[in-house]
Amino acid sequence: MVYPLLKYIHLLGAALMSAGLIGVWLAEVRSRQVEALELYTESVRWIAVFYDGLVLPGALLALLSGVSLIALYYGGLGFLDHPWLIGMVGLFLFEFIEGNTLTRRYFTRLRRLSQEAVVSGWARRVLCDTRDRFTPTFAHFLDLPIITVIIALGVIRPYTWEMMLSGTAAAIVIAAILALFIPRLYSWKTHHG
């Protein structure tokens, strides 16, 4: 009875994380499409709502249930014999740490700057410079491709490293393309000073 319950909690965590990351991604893209400060501020607020309301609780459920499943059914370090499981753990830890450091600081700063701009008027240059930083934008656009690789590893369970390595490489390329293309598509700098 313990295994089905842990597996259910793990899948629930993955579903919440995935739904939240899709919401964060859509809110981020929407924030780049709008010109009105109030709409921008609302979009940035929705990023925080999706992240704190779905991504973080889902990640915690996946983390706790994943650790329990590994401890109970793979003998702790026995998971090191399974490339798919090492890949899932490694990519999850990378995303968990990156999401709660770099990405969280990025969106927290955007939210603060946009709220200050509502009070004082457009601080467009500072907001644009913060919003258009490549590293946090790349890290943000990496979230969905990496969660896709993590889920694929758990479903397919390959016995070699090829799928994890090629999936991670593809995720990095996709994220780089999105991070370069989407900010240019919706750049305030091309329309305003």
pLDDT in tens, 16-39: 999 999 999 999 888 888 877 788
Burial class (CB in 10 A: 0-12, 13-18, 19+), 108: middle
Note the pLDDT of residue 146. 96
Which amino acid is located at 144 in the chain? L
N-to-C CA span, the chain: 62
Count of domains observed in the chain: 1
Q: Could you tell me the CA-to-CA distances from 38 to 34, 50, 107, 148 in Å, in that order?
A: 9, 18, 16, 33
> How confident is the model over 105-146, as pLDDT tens digits?
888 888 888 888 777 766 666 777 777 788 888 988 999 999
> How confident is the model over 43-95, as pLDDT tens digits?
889 998 999 999 999 999 999 999 999 999 888 788 889 999 999 999 999 99
Spell out the residues 6+ positions from residue 47 whose beta carbon is closer than 8 angstroms to its own: 24, 27, 28, 31, 107, 110, 111
Q: Is the pLDDT of residue 190 over 60?
A: no
Note the pLDDT of residue 58. 97
CB 59, CB 99: distance < 8 Å: yes
Burial class (CB in 10 A: 0-12, 13-18, 19+), 140: buried
Domain that holds residue 148: 2-190
What does the alpha-carbon distance between residue 164 and residue 189 come to, in Å, rounded to a whole number? 38
Note the pLDDT of residue 38. 83
The pLDDT-based confidence of 193 (bands split at 50, 70, 90) is: very low
> How confident is the model over 136-186, as pLDDT tens digits?
889 889 999 999 999 999 999 999 999 999 999 999 999 999 999 888 787
**Position of tokens 């704190």?**
52
